[in-house]
């Protein structure tokens, strides 16, 4: 079966009431989880803000340092290269290898040990690289960009070039990099050390901040990770507490509602039983008289008018059927207390199977029986359990078409219970019918009182057992009887 439902009448009736009983607690639970979720989000956002602030502070310090270095480089290049070169050569011409090498030695001496990637000097008259510590860049045009234009206007500026994020750290070879490019106007320097107004070019300093940027990203990831772990632990603790509290409250609610339902059911059945018992008792005696009279009449007709005795037989058959119905009413209205004795469940079940086997053969329905090899002895009322098995088997027989199959198997439960399963390949039941299958007087057949399964349920419960059904339309039904 692809779908199964294991519900008795009492479980179906309690669902709505249980939800109502648990509603206040569910609201508290949802509020707790919502508050925890909000706190988690707030913590993550706060962690991100703190780590982001730390990154900005680091970058700002690096930018200030680069501007200070660029100013010092401006002083050194002007005093140690520009002035001597003008005196010696009459003009500055970096195309002259001697001048270029002289400037290169000065620049490299200034930046030595300072983790500077490159120093580039742009011409002031056009956007061309006159000097760079990276030989491939010398002579390239239009590489300055908007930062170059700002520096020509006298405004020192910087920009960061990022690559990678926190997620990049998860890779085996993280692609994380950060460069700081600082552009300052290359000015003349007065004798007093102050910078003049004349701009001779633009100095670009590129500094690699990848290590610092990676450290900041690791700090961010650690803060977020620790916050997530702490909040996850808090969530699991709260969830465990709420789950256990929910189970306790649900169990208490179910017990209370079950008790209320049993009381209401007992009261209703008591009233119904009184009425049914009275009516059935009044009917049973006249039925017996009618049947006896019809039996005598049948014998006389056979002598007087042979061939017409079937008329009397009809009366006998119908009174017998009515007597069976009345007996069911009395059994339902005045349920007996079980007279417990030691019996083998297999023997009782075999007796019931033997009773229905001729009917099954007549309908061409196969019966498969698979019982445990050892006996399953229990304290039970043999007649009551026999009728339980018989009612379930007859129900399966009536639901199965010709050529179908009924399977009966027994096994032991985890606590030593006797478990009997009766499966059929019949038409099955819809969820709506499944809800009412154990209700008194409910039947979907044209004949019958609808009391068979109700009596079976009552008998099993009086043995402190359970009976349940799994069914799906077109896929048959399976009844499971558990006797402790």
- DSSP letters, 290-321, are HHHHHHHHHHHHHHHSTT-HHHHHHHHHHHHH
Q: What angle do CA 54, 59, 62 make, to 5 degrees?
A: 130
What's the average model confidence in pLDDT over 116-136? 87
| Cα 131 from Cα 139, distance rounded (Å) | 8
pLDDT above 50 (res 2): no
The whole-chain average pLDDT of the chain stands at: 77
Report the C-alpha gap between 233 and 382 in whole angstroms. 57
- In this prediction, residue 83 has a pLDDT band, given cuts at 50, 70 and 90, of confident
Q: Give the rounded percent of residues in the chain with a pLDDT score beyond 90.
A: 0
Higher pLDDT, 402 or 52: 402
Mean pLDDT of 159-173: 70
Gyration radius from the chain CA atoms: 48
φ/ψ of residue 116, rounded to 5: -100, 130
- Bridge partners (DSSP) of residue 423 are 407, 478
Please tell me the distance from the alpha carbon of residue 327 to that of residue 317, in angstroms, as a whole number: 15
User: Of 17-26, 89-98, 145-154, where does the model show the most confidence?
Assistant: 145-154
CB-based burial, 429-457: b 16+ in 10 Å, e otherwise: beeeebbbbbbbebbeeeeebbbbbbbbb
Q: Which has the higher per-residue pLDDT, 13 or 103?
A: 103
pTM passes above 0.85: no
Confidence of residue 167 (pLDDT cuts 50, 70, 90): low
Helical H segments across 119-209, by residue range: 145-152
Residue that wins the pLDDT comparison between 176 and 407: 407
Measured on CA atoms in the order 431, 437, 442, 444, is the torsion positive or negative?
A: positive
Tens-place pLDDT, residues 285-308: 676 677 677 777 777 777 776 766
Q: Torsions phi, psi of 85, nearest 5? A: -65, -40
Q: What is the pLDDT of residue 327?
A: 66
Distances (CA, A) of 358 to 315, 348, 354, 370, 371: 25, 17, 8, 19, 20
Q: Where would I find the H helices in 185-209?
A: none
Torsion of CA 26, 28, 32, 38, to 10 degrees: 90
- Domain range 337-484, CATH architecture: 2-Layer Sandwich (3.30)
Q: Which residue has the tokens 């056979």?
A: 302
Higher-scoring residue by pLDDT: 14, 284: 284
- With 70 as the cut, is the pLDDT of residue 477 above it? yes
Q: For residue 26, is pLDDT > 70?
A: no
């Amino acid at each position: 079966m692809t779908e199964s439902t294991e519900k008795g009448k009492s479980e179906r009736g309690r669902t709505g009431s249980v939800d109502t009983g648990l509603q206040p607690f569910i609201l508290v639970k949802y509020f707790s989880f919502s508050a925890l979720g909000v706190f988690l989000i707030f913590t993550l956002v706060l962690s991100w803000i703190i780590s982001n602030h730390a990154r900005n502070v680091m970058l700002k310090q690096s930018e200030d340092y680069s501007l200070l270095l660029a100013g010092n480089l401006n002083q050194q290049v002007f005093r140690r290269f520009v002035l001597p070169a003008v005196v010696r050569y009459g003009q500055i011409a970096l195309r002259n290898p001697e001048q270029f090498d002289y400037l290169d030695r000065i620049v490299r001496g200034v930046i030595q040990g300072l983790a500077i990637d490159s120093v580039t000097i742009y011409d002031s008259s056009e956007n061309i690289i006159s000097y760079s510590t990276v030989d491939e860049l010398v002579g390239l045009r239009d590489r300055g960009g908007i930062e170059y234009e700002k520096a020509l206007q006298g405004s020192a500026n910087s920009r960061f070039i990022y690559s990678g994020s926190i997620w990049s750290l998860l890779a085996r070879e993280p692609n994380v990099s950060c460069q700081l490019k600082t552009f300052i106007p290359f000015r003349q320097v007065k004798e007093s050390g102050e910078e003049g107004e004349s701009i001779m070019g633009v100095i670009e300093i590129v500094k690699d901040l990848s290590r610092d940027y990676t450290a900041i990203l690791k700090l961010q990831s650690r803060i977020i990770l620790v916050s997530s772990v702490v909040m996850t632990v808090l969530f699991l603790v709260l969830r465990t507490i709420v789950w256990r509290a929910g189970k306790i409250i649900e169990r208490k609610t179910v017990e209370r509602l079950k008790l209320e339902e049993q009381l209401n059911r007992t009261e209703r059945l008591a009233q119904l039983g009184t009425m049914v018992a009275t009516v059935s008792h009044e009917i049973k005696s006249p039925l017996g008289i009618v049947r006896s009279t019809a039996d005598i009449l049948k014998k006389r007709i056979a002598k007087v008018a042979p061939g017409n005795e079937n008329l009397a037989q009809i009366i006998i058959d119908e009174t017998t059927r009515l007597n069976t119905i009345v007996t069911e009413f009395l059994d339902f209205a005045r349920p007996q207390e079980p007279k417990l004795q030691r019996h083998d469940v297999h023997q009782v079940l075999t007796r019931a199977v033997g009773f229905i086997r001729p009917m099954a053969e007549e309908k061409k329905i196969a019966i498969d029986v698979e019982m445990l090899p050892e006996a399953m002895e229990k304290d039970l009322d043999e007649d009551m359990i026999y009728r339980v098995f018989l009612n379930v088997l007859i129900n399966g027989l009536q639901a199965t078409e010709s050529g179908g199959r009924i399977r009966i198997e027994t096994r032991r439960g985890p606590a030593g219970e006797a478990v009997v399963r009766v499966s059929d390949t019949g038409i099955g039941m819809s969820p709506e019918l499944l809800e009412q299958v154990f209700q008194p007087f409910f039947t979907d057949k044209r004949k019958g009182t609808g009391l068979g399964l109700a009596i079976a349920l009552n008998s099993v419960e009086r043995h402190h057992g359970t009976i349940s059904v799994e069914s799906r339309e077109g896929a048959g039904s399976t009844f499971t009887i558990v006797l402790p």
